[in-house]
Amino acid sequence: MKRLSRLEFKYGRYAIKNLTMYIAGLNLLVFILQSLGINAHSILVLNPKSIVEGFQIWRLITFVFIPETYNIVFILFSVYLVYLIGASLERYWGTFKLNMYYLIGMLGSIIGAFILYLFAGWGYMSGYYLNMSLFLAYATLFPDEEFLLFFILPVKAKYLGILDAAFLIFSIVIFIIGGAWYNAVAILVAVLNYLLFFGGDIINWVKLKRQVAKNRKRFFSQVRPHKKDRR
């Protein structure tokens, strides 16, 4: 994070304020275009073949404009959630750090798409895993914030984050068992931003839990003999 602070000192003025507001707005625009019969999805999606063979380099950026859903019932909730999560992270981290998190997530998604293209012959990618990593960051930093699941049931962010993480791990395991290791690698690099930003904290948390467990075990191993002696 010291390197990130140095980068912010040098390039912080170039960071885009309210980044996820623009992303959410463009997601909604693409939804409207699709609803009008304009196939914006196929033009914007991250398709390595089109980039390599057709030199359609705009796809390296425009794939984040593709909404997670084209369901009219959930689209407004989806784009609002992207904006809300991003705005909360920006207030907590600052504009530059959020920009870097999103940029690294984009790079991870691009690398993941090209891994699939090289080993499987295809590699379409939207902003799905990027938005998932964004929510994981939110759930890590604001675990007790509540969301209305199905607009009715209040659920804390940490539980939804656990479900997201479980889904990612399950997908990775299934791909590895099925021999499609490149899919597993693609998922991992697609959430590279979360691993980079929170990997150290997770490792420290696991170490702390192990140390607490060892201390508890040592304590009880020392206490129990004394109880027997008293008898």
**Using CA atoms, how far apart are residues 173 and 170, in angstroms rounded to an integer?**
5
pLDDT in tens, 47-72: 999 999 989 999 999 999 999 888 88
Mean pLDDT of 182-192: 89
As a whole-number percent, the residues of the chain with pLDDT over 70 amount to 94
3-state secondary structure of 54: helix
- Which DSSP letter does residue 29 get? H
Map out the domains of the chain as residue ranges.
2-199
Band of the pLDDT at 231, cuts 50, 70, 90?
Answer: low
Compute CA 6 distance to the chain's CA centroid, rounded to the nearest angstrom.
Answer: 24
Number of Cβ atoms within 10 Å of the Cβ of 223: 9
Task: Please answer whether residues 63 and 54 qualify as being in contact, where contact means their C-beta atoms are separated by less than 8 angstroms.
Answer: no
Number of Cβ atoms within 10 Å of the Cβ of 69: 13
Fold of domain 2-199: Rhomboid-like fold (1.20.1540)
pTM of the model: 0.85
Task: Please answer whether residues 76 and 69 qualify as being in contact, where contact means their C-beta atoms are separated by less than 8 angstroms.
Answer: no
> What local confidence, expressed as pLDDT, does residue 4 receive?
82
Q: Rounded to a whole number, what is the largest CA-CA distance in the chain?
A: 84
Band of the pLDDT at 1, cuts 50, 70, 90?
Answer: low
Compute CA 230 distance to the chain's CA centroid, rounded to the nearest angstrom.
Answer: 56
pLDDT at 131 over 70: yes
pLDDT at 226 over 60: no
Say what the alpha-carbon torsion angle 97, 103, 105, 108 is, to the nearest 10 degrees. -140
pLDDT at 124 over 60: yes
